[in-house]
Amino acid sequence: MQVSIETTSKLERRLTVGVPAETVDSQVDERLRQAVKNVRLPGFRPGKVPLKVMRQRFGPGVRQEVLGEVMSRSFQEAVTQEKLKPAGQPTIEPRNMDAGKDLEYIATFEVFPDVEVVELKDYPVEKPAAEVTAEDVDNIIEVFRKQRGSWETVERAAEKEDRVNIDFEGTRDGEAFEGGSAEGSDLELGSGQMIPGFEDGIVGMSAGEEKVLSLSFPDDYHADELKGAAVEFKVKVNKVEEMQLAPLDAELYAAYGLEGDDEAEFRAEVEQNMARELRNAVDARVKKQVMDAVIEAYSDLEVPAALISQETDALRNQMFQQFGGSAPEGMDLKSILPDDMFAENAARRVKLGLVLAELIAHFELKADEEAIKAAVEEIASTYQDPEEVVNWYFGNQEQLAAVESKVLEDKVVDRLLESAAISEKACTYQEAIALGQQANQQ
């Protein structure tokens, strides 16, 4: 086998590979000889079809199969010989595939970049400093009670957090506009569901009362024709309802995974879960800043376009699945969710993956069994039957590999934090949770 290599860009390589004709032809003949045993042709006894006839009838098809296998195998041998690490599949350009002549083809592909360890020192990391207060616990429990509560009709004027049933008709310059009217619509006051001023305008109205609200659509409203438009809404209140919170009892506690009717035990369980969420939010916020520092330190690192393309496809499919979607038959997902929606995030993820892999090797980090088990148990603790979840993870190699990957990633973060300039910023529980959510979304 003859191999020549050409560097066409920083990451792209162009291999010209030549394979002797004898290698291909001998494999074609051998495959045809093996096929004789199972071929039945008119005029010939089973297993007695001459090789010449086999070549005439089946030679071209068998040759195509052999050529594909030979090119795949020889490509792998060539990159091993040249000590290359391809990133993604090569583009194959046949140069000569004629029978009796040496096979020659060109394989164009990208290689993984060489990642040199860059020292990160004294980079700033701001760590949220928060705690779970009794008031925070009260607020979460009130949310639980609302979720399990019921709406009851009241004979009074509407207040914020009440739910009203309304008819409304919106007009612009005296003309109704699309989507501006409804009958028997439920609206929770203070939810921010309607444009500014609409819900506030209903506060103080009672069932049977009518009112005209003069409002304006926001300048950044999603419908271009209504951006900043002055409109009027004729509103009639049909019913005012007040939320009746679910009682603190065994039924409520059971709905959130706690048996018994001990309120103190329920509060302790809620506080423990909130403390775990707070810890995860703080870790996410800190980790995001560390990763940002890594990206900045390796800003000049070029990554293979093939890997970015693969990650783009993965992110697109992930988003589609999150919304329970399935593309209509014959429709390309790219027409619904184009590449540019994911390109920046995909490039970031690929770069981080390459750099973290190098840092893991450089620091000689290992995901030991105890760390993996602790991570699985942490995940399982949020479920009603933790033991069942633990068993499921350890019986699923793919999920366990994902946990191992996260453990290693966290070890890299801990190692890099040793060189960071860490400061703390006091904040509330809710502010810390919001920061964590923002970090996880980026």
DSSP per residue, 386-432: HHHHHHHHHT-HHHHHHHHHHHHHHHHHHHHHTTEEEEEEE--HHHH
CB 258 within 8 A of CB 269: yes
CA-to-CA distance for 243 and 147, rounded, in angstroms?
Answer: 10
CB 126 within 8 A of CB 423: yes
| pLDDT (tens digit per residue) in 224-283 | 999 999 999 999 999 999 999 999 999 999 998 888 899 999 999 999 999 999 999 999
| pLDDT (tens digit per residue) in 321-342 | 776 655 556 567 787 788 889 9
Q: What confidence score (pLDDT) does residue 324 get? A: 63
Query: Per-residue confidence at 190, pLDDT binned at 50, 70, 90?
Result: very high
Query: Per-residue confidence at 213, pLDDT binned at 50, 70, 90?
Result: very high
CATH 3.10.50.40 in the chain is located at 150-244
Query: Per-residue confidence at 170, pLDDT binned at 50, 70, 90?
Result: very high
| pLDDT (tens digit per residue) in 353-388 | 999 999 999 999 999 999 999 999 999 988 888 999
Burial of 79 (0-12, 13-18, 19+ CB in 10 A): buried
Residue 167 one-letter amino acid: D
Rounded percentage of the chain residues whose pLDDT exceeds 90: 80
CATH 3.30.70.1050 in the chain is located at 2-111
Least confident among 23-32, 63-72, 283-292: 23-32
**Strand 420-426 relative to strand 123-129, pairing:** parallel
User: Where does residue 39 fall: left (phi above 0), alpha (psi -120 to 50 degrees), or beta otherwise?
Assistant: beta
CATH 1.20.1530.20 fits 123-130+253-441, yes or no: no
Record the pTM.
0.78
| pLDDT (tens digit per residue) in 79-134 | 999 999 999 899 999 998 888 899 999 999 999 999 999 999 999 999 999 999 99
Q: What confidence score (pLDDT) does residue 382 get? A: 84
Hey, what CATH topology would domain 150-244 get?
Chitinase A; domain 3 (3.10.50)
The predicted model gives 67-77 an average pLDDT of: 94
Q: What confidence score (pLDDT) does residue 25 get? A: 87
Least confident among 24-28, 36-40, 154-158, 189-193: 36-40
CB 337 within 8 A of CB 311: no
Q: What is the dihedral of CA 351, 354, 357, 361, to 10 degrees?
A: -120
Cβ neighbours of 60 (radius 10 Å): 11
Q: What confidence score (pLDDT) does residue 331 get? A: 62
Orientation angle between helical segments 429-441 and 263-297, nearest 10 degrees: 50
Query: Per-residue confidence at 197, pLDDT binned at 50, 70, 90?
Result: very high
Orientation angle between helical segments 263-297 and 397-417, nearest 10 degrees: 70
| pLDDT (tens digit per residue) in 20-57 | 999 998 998 888 888 877 777 887 877 777 877 787 77
CATH 1.10.3120.10 in the chain is located at 123-130+253-441
Residues 6+ apart with CB under 8 A from 69: 27
Q: What confidence score (pLDDT) does residue 247 get? A: 96
Q: Strand, helix or coil at 39? A: coil
| pLDDT (tens digit per residue) in 130-143 | 999 999 999 999 99
Which residue would you say has higher pLDDT here, 419 or 49? 419
Least confident among 33-47, 200-214, 215-229, 346-360: 33-47
Query: Per-residue confidence at 209, pLDDT binned at 50, 70, 90?
Result: very high
CA-to-CA distance for 412 and 408, rounded, in angstroms?
Answer: 6
- What is the phi/psi pair of residue 303, to 5°? -115, 150
CATH number, domain 2-111: 3.30.70.1050
DSSP state, residue 113:
P
